[in-house]
Structure 1
Amino acid sequence: MAAKKTTDYPVKQRQINEDIANGSFKPCYLIYGDEGYLRLQNRDKLSKALLGGGDKMNLQHYEGANLNPLEIIDMAETLPFFAERRVIIIENSGFFKVGCPELADYLKSPSDTTVFLFVESAVDKRKDMYKAVHKIGLDISCDTPDEQMLGKWIVSRLGAEKKRISPRAIAYFINRVGTDMSNMANEMEKLICYCIDKDEITEADIDAICANWLTSRIFEMTDAIVQKNQKKAMDIYYELIALKTAPEQILALISRQFNLLLITKEMSETGHPQNAIASALSLPPFIASKYIGWVKGYTRDDIKASLDMCLESDAAVKSGKLDHTISIEMIIIKASSRK
């Protein structure tokens, strides 16, 4: 059995909270990882505390590639204006992937009146910048939490608004809206407003108010596949993978889509009307009409071949012969290729 992924995020988060509470800050902080919501939350919390509620005269914000490290160092050496410290935010610079010897060297003995906040989506721990920050500051990895941690966050966030939610409803909520925390936060705000006169949030409330964003994106991808729009299908697929959508869920919906196409093709060829096809597919007539249009671009053998690809891919993954992510890429490319 594979070892469970561990994270030191809670420990590092407590250290940041202690620094803020004590008013004793490190020379630099590195906030990185694939969860943008947590990165920005920590960035804003730290910058607000470092500025001490004052104006932003002593805040400098640099963002993007091709930054001039010597300019940043000059600013770091400039005394703050009627304040205890200067705050320099450097965001999405790429310094932690390609390195920055000038800034890394400066951090060996930085100004004691300047605090750096580095915010990056990805870092290379072998590079000079990471080593420099790790030595004198604090680095926190803001990766997407596992479902258990997300559940605790949901309970805490809703609890602050005097709302309860069951473990079953939490799992239902996550499955419906996905694990992107910014999207989850927006959907929870909608739920809080919708349930303003209720103490407990239920699955029925989630159905009523939360957009099924994740499933709709998967269906949009499968629609692009059957329309043979390969670029759109691949773009959405990579987006879903980046959001940690289970490949099994994606494959199941691709298989379902081709199964619906096969039913539509067979019924169309035998003269069944649109309403009968809609009933067989358990879809509204206007959706069934889309399938009727799509199958004109496929032969029955084309659709069966795509279904066989899905079954063979699933078997190959389960036997360890093929990586799940790559196997679905192959299905999308083959199924959406134009003849």
Structure 2
Amino acid sequence: MDIKTATKAIKHGDVSPVYLLYGLEKYQIKKFTSLLEEQLLQKEDRDFAIVNYDLADTPLQVVIEEAETVPFMVPRKLIFVRDASVFTAGKEGGKIEHRIEALLEYLKNPAEYSILIFLVYNEKLDERKKVVKALKAAGVVLAFAPLGGEELLGWVTKETKQRGCVLAPGTAEALIRNAGTQLQTLTAELDKLCLYAGEGGTIDLDTVEQLVARSTEQNVFALVENIANLRLEQALGIFYELLKQREEPIKIAALITRQFRIILQVKELAGQSYSQQQIASQLGLHPYAVKIAGEQARKFKSGDLRGILNRLADLDFQMKTGRIEKVLGLELFLLRLQN
């Protein structure tokens, strides 16, 4: 079952006794848990109907005892269980001893008045574990992965419309490049932009540039984008702005190196017919970052990218050993990229 199907089922009253929500997109997980609360509980019941546990300090068997206990003054209760590392590879709960068999037994006959919701902020589950297989058979397991490149753009457009605003062409991309790919951050920035534009207003590129501050990483991302498009003046402008913000030149050089390394890796994996999602998983990147890196990669030959990385490695050595003044070294590097 996917998120859309599960959402529709909940709205129609078809609720599973157990949910396992996993993935790195915490904002989407939060939205889904809020949906469960809104659809299944009355507002006045929530103080008695919502129970929270953390498996970092509570044994799993205590959670099961809670699920088997009849709720007090309410017809149904939601039990949220965080840090559910019993479903992933590696250590399980640190010093706490979890009796997995208690959950396995519970899944055979779950209580009709309790809904267990396990929250796993991890990219993958350990599919080899018996408990994961049992939960997939008895409950609903949903993956909350970062949105792909086009999906993220579509999400930004939809969220803007819901706020009564309109995005000018190219503005969604500019917003993501300034604010990053985290949905929580993008939501806050959209709230601010739509408040500024007003009901029915249009958010354009200038508005995004004025109101959405870029992080150091996003500035370097934009700097490399300008290099890829042979816009030296804009690239230098971003570089000087970073210096005004008192960013250390060695750190800037390291971030530039990281971005060019990503571009080369994306280019090589794409050449081996890896999909955008596969590349993102392989490199531990957001799919949108892979999309942009792929666009940048088309503007360089693999040999040129390796040459740039070699020059950056040499620059790093010269800067750290005092053989070249740091700002001058980076300026010369940027100027030579255009030759």
1:122-141 paired onto structure 2 within 5 Å: 122=122, 123-141=125-143
1:137-152 paired onto structure 2 within 5 Å: 137-152=139-154
The alpha-carbon distance between structure 1 residues 167 and 33, as it changes in their structure 2 partners (threshold 3 A), is farther
Q: Which amino acid aligns with 1:154?
A: V
Asked if the contact 2:164–2:200 (Cα under 8 Å) also holds between the matched residues in 1, the reply is no
Q: Which residue of 2 aligns with 1:23?
A: 13
Q: Runs (4+) of structure 1 moved beyond 6 Å?
A: 217-220, 227-230
Distance 1:197 1:96 in 2: 45
Q: Which amino acid aligns with 2:139?
A: G
Distance 1:95 1:40 in 2: 21
Q: CA deviation at 1:142?
A: 0.7
TM-score where L is the length of structure 1: 0.64
Instruction: Find the residue that maps to 1:107 and give its secondary structure.
Output: helix
What stretches of structure 1 of length at least 5 have no aligned partner?
1-10, 263-293, 312-339
Q: Which amino acid aligns with 1:44?
A: S
Deviations 1:293-327 (A, max 9, x none): x95952149969x97xxx9xxxxxxxxxxxxxxxx
Q: CA deviation at 1:181?
A: 0.7
1:220-299 paired onto structure 2 within 5 Å: 223=247, 226=250, 245-246=289-290, 298-299=322-323
Distance 1:155 1:70 in 2: 44
Q: Which amino acid aligns with 1:13?
A: I
Deviations 1:184-239 (A, max 9, x none): 1111111111111662211111111111134247688x955716999xx99xx9xx
Distance 2:22 2:138 in 1: 17
Asked if the contact 1:43–1:119 (Cα under 8 Å) also holds between the matched residues in 2, the reply is no
Q: Which residue of 2 aligns with 1:75?
A: 66
Q: Which residue of 2 aligns with 1:47?
A: 37
1:92 to 73, 83, 86: 83
Distance 1:242 1:138 in 2: 27
Distance 1:120 1:34 in 2: 9
Q: Which residue of 2 aligns with 1:215?
A: 218
Q: CA deviation at 1:78?
A: 0.5
Asked if the contact 1:31–1:43 (Cα under 8 Å) also holds between the matched residues in 2, the reply is no
Q: Which residue of 1 aligns with 2:159?
A: 157
Asked if the contact 2:166–2:200 (Cα under 8 Å) also holds between the matched residues in 1, the reply is no
Distance 1:195 1:301 in 2: 45
Asked if the contact 1:87–1:114 (Cα under 8 Å) also holds between the matched residues in 2, the reply is yes
Distance 2:74 2:14 in 1: 15
Distance 1:241 1:18 in 2: 31
What stretches of structure 2 of length at least 5 have no aligned partner?
93-99, 222-238, 262-282, 297-304
The alpha-carbon distance between structure 1 residues 163 and 105, as it changes in their structure 2 partners (threshold 3 A), is same
Deviations 1:34-71 (A, max 9, x none): 11111111122213322233232122101242431221
Distance 1:198 1:17 in 2: 29
Q: Which residue of 2 aligns with 1:172?
A: 174
Deviates more, 1:167-176 or 1:138-147: 167-176
The alpha-carbon distance between structure 1 residues 171 and 114, as it changes in their structure 2 partners (threshold 3 A), is same
Q: Which amino acid aligns with 2:34?
A: D
Distance 1:224 1:107 in 2: 55
Q: Which residue of 1 aligns with 2:117?
A: 117
Distance 1:196 1:228 in 2: 37
Deviates more, 1:73-82 or 1:124-133: 124-133
Q: Which residue of 1 aligns with 2:187?
A: 185
Asked if the contact 2:16–2:115 (Cα under 8 Å) also holds between the matched residues in 1, the reply is yes
1:12 to 2, 25, 29: 2
Distance 1:145 1:188 in 2: 17
Q: Which residue of 2 aligns with 1:272?
A: none
Q: Which residue of 2 aligns with 1:60?
A: 51
Deviations 1:317-339 (A, max 9, x none): xxxxxxxxxxxxxxxxxxxxxxx
Distance 2:220 2:110 in 1: 47
**Radius of gyration: which is bigger?**
1
